[in-house]
Structure 1
């Protein structure tokens, strides 16, 4: 295909015009009985050069109507008097016609169309020795049409026509059929460029989300409390924005509360749970699905400070152990691809 999406049949409701040239063959020749009785028919020349021009209207991809003129060439022969062989002469029958056919096409590829034409013609057959004969004829054709580009196409066609001439001695004295094998070129008018095909860029592949965010409890809560400070909302709003930026789809958020080692284990466990629940409720209020949020109280486990705060007054230990007092949020899931 030289041009993508070129249609051999052309676009609907458009006109076309073209010309053809090829080999014209006369066959099934039958002379008037009076001629055959009186003379020998010899040196018949059944082949000739044929040509034509045509114009058509493409109704849709499968159906069109075509009007054409064909010069079918000359059938030549010699006549020898049976009683006097010295009486010899030659004669010829020239044939031409105007035809109107319906064209039925069958696309086999974007640029290739197989078709048939069927209809009638008004034909003229002219014999040099006898009178002209004109009248109706039958026309049928089979062919293939190939689109070179959006406007130009070429076709290969075999056309059959019958009958031509008339055996009556008042006319050509000859009746014959014709087959025309031709190659043609045609131009299609009003062919519009196809709409460009816009291929959207491929969507990015989703990726796994596994992120953790940590906030100091001292930023969110007063010491030994589980109620949010007035200024805690700013830190939690920032945390919610970070979770949204990760765009987890059908993911889960686990909110874990931690305390320092000061105080009883059971008390610290409950305090860590309350702080985790307070942060989780805030995030749910901002928009996280409640069913996707889990709460865990971790108590004084997993201290960040390790053994660095071994001694000191209680006030000194509270300051030193501040990193252990924290709330962590772990987000897991698949990233939601932005539309």
Structure 2
């Protein structure tokens, strides 16, 4: 009887420690501001989105994201309204700095779509990251979904 209880306790202890170990997957949400020289060169629009990623190692991750870049009314006086969404896949490289800070850069593929707006191509960005806790992080980033569109945003994420 004692052996069964000891075995059950050992298995429970092993199982609980495996749940505590962080995995390489993470996800988060972001909010920011988008400027598009194609749709309107005089105003910034609120953007928001979500992302999922996988840490390949300590310095490289692969990330998939979706973002609503903004909604433009009366584009360049045409009476036309446009809502633009972005789907992106990118490789993120990061270098740790002092304490909890890191600097990162991304390169990848971006697809913009919306009301008669379809554009795809290279995506790049740079930013600064901060680890609030072992599994919670924040980022500030400047991203170029196209050569005529810039998004500046802040995000918070959780490592599963």
Smaller-chain TM-score bracket: 0.7 to 0.9
Q: Which structure dedicates a bigger proportion of its chain to strand?
A: 2
Please, what TM-score do these two structures have when normalized by structure 1?
0.38
Q: 2:48 aligns with which of 41, 46, 51?
A: 51
Task: Give distance in 2, aligned partners of 1:44 and 1:124.
Answer: 19
Task: Give distance in 1, aligned partners of 2:119 and 2:45.
Answer: 22
CA 1:61/1:46 → structure 2, altered by over 3 Å: closer, same or farther?
same
| Structure of greater Rg | 1
Q: 2:64 aligns with which of 67, 72, 81?
A: 67
Partner of 1:152: 136
Alpha carbons 1:26, 1:75 under 8 Å: kept: no
Q: 2:125 aligns with which of 136, 141, 145?
A: 141
Higher relative contact order (CA 8 A, sep 6+): 2
Task: Give distance in 1, aligned partners of 2:33 and 2:86.
Answer: 16
Q: 1:114 aligns with which of 103, 107, 115?
A: 103
Shift in Å at residue 75 of structure 1? 3.2
Q: CA RMSD in A?
A: 2.3
Alpha carbons 1:106, 1:113 under 8 Å: kept: yes
Alpha carbons 2:22, 2:159 under 8 Å: kept: no
Please, what TM-score do these two structures have when normalized by structure 2?
0.78
Partner of 2:94: 105
CA 1:78/1:179 → structure 2, altered by over 3 Å: closer, same or farther?
closer
Q: Structure 1 regions of 5+ residues with no counterpart?
A: 1-10, 31-42, 80-88, 127-131, 164-176, 190-339
CA offsets per residue over residues 241-277 of structure 1, 9 Å max, x none?
A: xxxxxxxxxxxxxxxxxxxxxxxxxxxxxxxxxxxxx
Q: Structure 2 regions of 5+ residues with no counterpart?
A: 1-20
Q: 2:153 aligns with which of 164, 182, 186?
A: 182
Partner of 1:335: none
Task: Give distance in 2, aligned partners of 1:12 and 1:115.
Answer: 21
Task: Give distance in 1, aligned partners of 2:143 and 2:151.
Answer: 5
Shift in Å at residue 26 of structure 1? 1.0
Alignment pair present for 1:21 and 2:10? no
Task: Give distance in 1, aligned partners of 2:152 and 2:54.
Answer: 23
Alpha carbons 2:59, 2:93 under 8 Å: kept: yes
Alpha carbons 1:12, 1:58 under 8 Å: kept: no
Alpha carbons 1:12, 1:60 under 8 Å: kept: no
Alpha carbons 1:21, 1:52 under 8 Å: kept: yes
Question: Aligned pair count?
Answer: 139
Matches within 5 A, 1:210-289: none
Partner of 1:93: 82
Shift in Å at residue 139 of structure 1? 1.0
Shift in Å at residue 114 of structure 1? 0.2
